[in-house]
């Protein structure tokens, strides 16, 4: 009797591991799909903005730090002269992550550190970094994503115009 219980426990454990792996694989696929869409959208936007008068942009995304970084990298390959801020919301954790980069020629007027700190402060978060790159975060803040984006746009407009 004891052997059969141990055997069934191992069988159940193996099945749970297999199901857990399926869930992880599904989550990875969803993350990749979200990343690919966000990068493609950023590339399209960069193509439209490059060579124009706009010197900064703010993008709101669903995603984590990795997606935000990939979006910035893709955007700057096409339009390196434009400052970019990505505001990512994680609805599951109810957090916001902000990452921004400012090109060298705009760093005196729009330091990334100040831009990030001002935007994320609206949601009760904190940011830091340098003039070229900064990041910040806010907890319990998904409902404040629009306010963060608006503060970022206002700050950039005031500094660049």
pLDDT given at position 44: 97
pLDDT given at position 141: 94
pLDDT given at position 15: 83
pTM value? 0.86
Spatial separation of the C-alpha atoms in residues 80 and 97, rounded to whole Å: 22
pLDDT given at position 2: 45
pLDDT given at position 84: 98
Mean pLDDT across the stretch 74-99? 96
pLDDT digits (tens, 9 = 90+) for 105-141: 999 999 999 999 999 999 999 999 999 999 999 999 9
Mean pLDDT across the stretch 78-95? 95
Instruction: Mark out the alpha helices in 80-111 (DSSP H runs).
Output: none
Q: How far is CA 143 from CA 29, 89, 96, 98, in A?
A: 26, 9, 9, 15
Q: How many helices (H) and strands (E) does the chain have?
A: 4, 5
User: Average per-residue pLDDT in the chain?
Assistant: 92
pLDDT digits (tens, 9 = 90+) for 145-158: 999 999 999 999 99
């Amino acid at each position: 009797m004891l052997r059969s219980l141990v055997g069934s426990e191992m069988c159940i454990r193996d099945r749970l591991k297999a199901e857990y792996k399926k869930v992880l694989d599904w989550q990875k696929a969803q993350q990749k799909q979200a990343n690919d869409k966000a990068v493609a959208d950023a590339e399209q936007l960069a193509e439209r903005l490059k060579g124009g008068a706009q010197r900064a942009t703010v993008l709101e995304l669903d995603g984590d730090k990795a997606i935000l970084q990939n979006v910035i990298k893709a955007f700057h390959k096409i339009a390196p002269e434009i400052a970019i801020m990505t505001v990512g919301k994680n609805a599951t954790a109810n957090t916001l992550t902000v990452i921004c980069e400012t090109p060298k020629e705009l760093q005196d007027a729009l330091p990334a550190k100040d831009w990030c700190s001002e935007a994320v402060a609206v949601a009760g978060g904190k940011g830091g970094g340098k003039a070229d790159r900064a990041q910040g975060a806010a907890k319990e803040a998904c409902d404040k994503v629009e306010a963060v984006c608006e503060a970022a746009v206002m700050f950039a407009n005031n500094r660049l115009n």
